[in-house]
């Protein structure tokens, strides 16, 4: 099972594209315990049989009796987290695999938060791979649309009304830029989430004098960034990541919302090839994947707020704030990755209708070129703005006798051609296209 909510709704929100299930969490927790054992064996703190047994169990957690999510969850209530019963289960399991294994060597020098935070870091780094892959799909699709429609005129709309002409290429390039900027920030924030190993109160006292070296070894075993010091109650890395996920979801929601509006029956400028139907209305062709992307993205801001509010960890271990992070962090990743996946599907299956764009440009009778007409009438006509404003209220600019008298029919017709008043739209597309490339590899410059 993928996701964290179940197989009924997860596919709708794109959540089947990455695994943030309870099983994934348990697997990550066991991976951390195994990595700790291997690292500790380098310092003579754990025997080879114990380290090997834990490594074997990490490869197949189903072999650990009592480590299924339901059993661990029920057993977690008294201690407040699943690591406590998991360690008990692991100590029994290692002996069952190898009678030379030493139960007391499981979880050496660690506290529950070390294991959960490091498991969260593992899931964050894995989520970043999915996030980057789907963001790249979005960006590439936007770049293709921008190139193809660099000069395709489209009614620009402000406050819900037609404003001035733009091009669909510029709109698509802006979509891609927004998603790439936000997703790049999320990928880089994810890369900065480091290993957590501090022991009971962040001093590594139980494994002195090997503490920092052991922490680095655990990081290396898990392929996570090393931490300069334990960060039990410093949640900056996670809150920065959460904020970047929120920005990414916001960009997705904007693009998906635009697609939905452009696909409205009365507008018809865009459509999605595998549009969805209705249980009641046979004629419906809904831009379902864009709707799903928007729905997933709209759930993200509240989760960001929860993670950031929970950053107020007191002293050396938080009472409640730490626990409040677990599910929102999973949901944040699940929904943001899912929203990107559904948006990528939308853009890869998008049909553009320039004929509808041209038709809509004409519905105002030239009113969206009113600014251009005022400028053309020149400074020697102080009544130009009032005259054009009145003409807009009366009807079509292209048939207003006063404007024809002032400018001539041919000149007025040229002024009201949307393709002639696109400003720097094509130049801006050309400026944005070089930025619409796959996201660079993750960086770790800002790790602790």
At 378, list the tokens.
């020149």
CA distance 268 to 5: 35
- Return all residues near 223 (Cβ < 8 A) that are at least 6 apart: 125
| 223 HSE (CA, 13 A, CB side) | 8
User: Are 425 and 170 contacting, i.e. CB atoms less than 8 angstroms apart?
Assistant: yes
How far is 63 from 71, CA to CA, in rounded Å? 14
Distance separating alpha carbons of residues 372 and 424, to the nearest angstrom? 15
- DSSP letters for 63-124: GSTT-SHHHHHHHTTTTTSTHHHHHHHHHHHHHHH-TT--GGGTTTT--HHHHHHHHHHHHH
Give me 441's structure tokens. 């590899």
CA 181 to chain centre: 11
Contact yes or no for 391/400 (Cβ under 8 A): yes
Report yes or no: 332 and 242 within 8 Å, Cβ to Cβ.
Answer: yes
- 75: how many CB neighbours lie within 10 A of its CB? 17
Q: Could you tell me which of 186, 185, 189, 137 has the C-alpha nearest to residue 340?
A: 137
Residues that are catalytic: 278, 317
Task: Give the CA distances from residue 135 to residues 75, 131, 149, 294, 438, in Å, rounded to whole numbers and listed in that order.
Answer: 39, 6, 21, 15, 8
């Amino acid at each position: 099972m993928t996701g964290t909510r179940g197989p009924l709704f997860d596919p709708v929100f794109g959540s089947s594209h990455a695994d943030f299930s309870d099983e994934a969490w348990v697997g990550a927790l066991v991976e951390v315990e195994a990595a700790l054992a291997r690292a500790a064996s380098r310092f003579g703190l754990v025997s080879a049989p114990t380290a090997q047994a834990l490594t074997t169990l990490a490869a197949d957690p189903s072999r650990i009796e009592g480590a299924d999510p339901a059993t661990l969850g029920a057993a977690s209530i008294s201690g407040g987290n699943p690591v406590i019963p998991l360690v008990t289960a692991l100590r029994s399991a290692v002996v069952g695999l190898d009678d030379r294994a030493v139960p007391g060597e499981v979880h050496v020098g660690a506290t529950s938060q070390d294991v959960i935070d490091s498991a969260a870091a593992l899931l964050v780094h894995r989520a970043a791979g999915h996030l980057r892959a789907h963001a790249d799909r979005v960006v590439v699709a936007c770049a293709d649309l921008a190139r193809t429609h660099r000069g395709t005129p489209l009614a620009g709309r402000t406050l819900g009304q037609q404003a001035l002409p733009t091009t669909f290429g510029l709109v698509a390039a802006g979509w891609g830029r927004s998603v790439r900027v936000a997703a790049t920030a999320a990928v880089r924030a994810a890369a900065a989430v480091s290993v957590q190993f501090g022991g009971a109160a962040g001093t590594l006292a139980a494994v002195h004098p090997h503490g920092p070296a052991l922490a680095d070894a655990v990081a290396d075993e898990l392929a996570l960034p090393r931490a300069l010091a334990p960060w039990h109650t410093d949640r900056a890395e996670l809150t920065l990541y959460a904020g970047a996920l929120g920005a990414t979801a916001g960009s997705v929601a904007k693009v998906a919302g635009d697609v939905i509006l452009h696909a409205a029956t009365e507008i018809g400028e865009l459509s999605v090839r595998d549009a969805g139907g209705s249980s009641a209305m046979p004629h419906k062709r809904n831009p379902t994947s864009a709707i799903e992307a928007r729905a997933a993205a709209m759930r993200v801001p509240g989760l960001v707020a929860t993670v950031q509010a929970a950053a107020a960890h007191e002293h050396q271990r938080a009472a409640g704030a730490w626990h409040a992070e677990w599910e929102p962090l999973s949901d944040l990743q699940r929904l943001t990755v899912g929203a990107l996946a559904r948006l990528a599907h939308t853009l890869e299956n998008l049909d553009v209708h320039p004929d509808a764009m041209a038709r809509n440009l004409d519905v105002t009778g030239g009113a969206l070129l009113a600014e251009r007409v005022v400028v053309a009438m020149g400074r020697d006509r102080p009544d130009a703005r009032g005259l054009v404003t009145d003409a807009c209220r009366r009807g079509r600019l292209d048939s207003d006798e006063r404007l024809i008298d002032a400018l001539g029919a041919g000149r007025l017709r040229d002024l009201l051609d949307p393709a002639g008043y696109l400003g720097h739209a094509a130049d801006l597309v050309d400026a944005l296209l070089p930025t619409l490339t796959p996201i660079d590899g993750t960086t770790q410059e800002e790790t602790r």
